[in-house]
A = this chain, B = another copy of it.
């Protein structure tokens, strides 16, 4: 169930000769590729059918039918995004592109998540007396904010910080009973690694949302790893944020379910306060 897209664009030039030609033809006209038989596709690429089968195998499919199936899947999600070189500029194109990439990021997140790890993280969070959430630099700071936003509602005592200097001081001052969650999309934040080391010295459990194998992931007790392909478009800061956000979402839900009663109490209280302070419409969201 691998994603075809990276294999097709073949950034690292692993495909050769006819395979590259085939990939190009498929990318140029996905609908054709989906509808055609192996013979038709082979003819368009001026190769033999077996070459097409082999091509499908090389890019990770079981065969040509499987290839078409996967292509159909991918295509539905909005395959306009298979044209990286052609800069999309119209509003409709940009919208389609971003939505497709976001959905794709969520899809890949879902593939990568390990329920066991998530459960463990949720349990640790649930048991914490106090939670620290670290994340700096736009994207990860959004994540740590969001963790705060979600967990305080469940009755968790939590502080979120986006300030690397503060993070270090907070880490130096942690006390048992604390649990720390850090977020780093690259996993290369050296300060964050230092924080995690300090935590470990104090036996404070740490959860990291980050790339697998990265320094941050290695320094954390419970790494929740999310690996997504880098975007090449510098105007677009990757759709990784959607995946991270979903990870927080899932985590917060699991924490809520771990003690449903307690969570309900707090959520009700918050909701009542919101309804009171606004015009009494109780369809209100929990915090706009």
With a cutoff of 8 Å between Cβ atoms, the chain B residues found around residue A102 in the complex are 106, 242, 245-246, 249
Chain B proximity of A285: nearest CB distance (Å)? 5
With a cutoff of 8 Å between Cβ atoms, the chain B residues found around residue A78 in the complex are 110
Docked-complex contact B98 and A139, CB < 8 angstroms? no
Docked-complex contact B257 and A235, CB < 8 angstroms? yes
Indicate the member of A78, A94, A142, A274 with the most B CB atoms within 10 Å: A94
With a cutoff of 8 Å between Cβ atoms, the chain B residues found around residue A73 in the complex are 72-73, 75-76
Chain B proximity of A55: nearest CB distance (Å)? 19
Chain B proximity of A150: nearest CB distance (Å)? 8
Given known contacts A110-B95, A235-B263, A267-B234, is B278 in contact with A190 (CB within 8 Å)? yes
Chain B residue nearest in CB terms to A189: B288
Q: Copies of this chain, how many?
A: 2
Docked-complex contact A288 and B135, CB < 8 angstroms? yes
Docked-complex contact A230 and B149, CB < 8 angstroms? no
Contact with B along A231-254 (1 / 0, CB 8 A): 000111110111001100110011
Stretch in A45-53, A113-121, A125-133, A171-179 touching the partner: A113-121
Docked-complex contact B99 and A139, CB < 8 angstroms? no
CB of A281 within 8 Å of the partner chain:
yes
Q: How far is the CA of A89 from the CA of B234 in the complex (A)?
A: 39
Chain B residue nearest in CB terms to A192: B288
Q: How far is the CA of A1 from the CA of B76 in the complex (A)?
A: 9
Docked-complex contact A137 and B257, CB < 8 angstroms? no
A288 touches which one: B96, B136, B235, B253 (CB < 8 A)? B136
Chain B residue nearest in CB terms to A152: B138
A138 touches which one: B68, B141, B149 (CB < 8 A)? B149
Chain A contact residues, CB within 8 Å of chain B:
1, 34, 65, 68-70, 72-78, 87, 89-92, 94-96, 98-99, 102-103, 106-107, 109-110, 113, 115-116, 118-119, 122, 135-142, 145-146, 149-150, 184-186, 188-190, 230, 234-238, 240-242, 245-246, 249-250, 253-254, 256-257, 260, 263-264, 267-268, 271, 274, 278-279, 281, 283-288
Q: List 7 contacting pairs A-B, 8 Å CB cutoff, sorted by A.
A: A89-B257, A95-B250, A98-B249, A102-B249, A150-B237, A188-B281, A235-B253
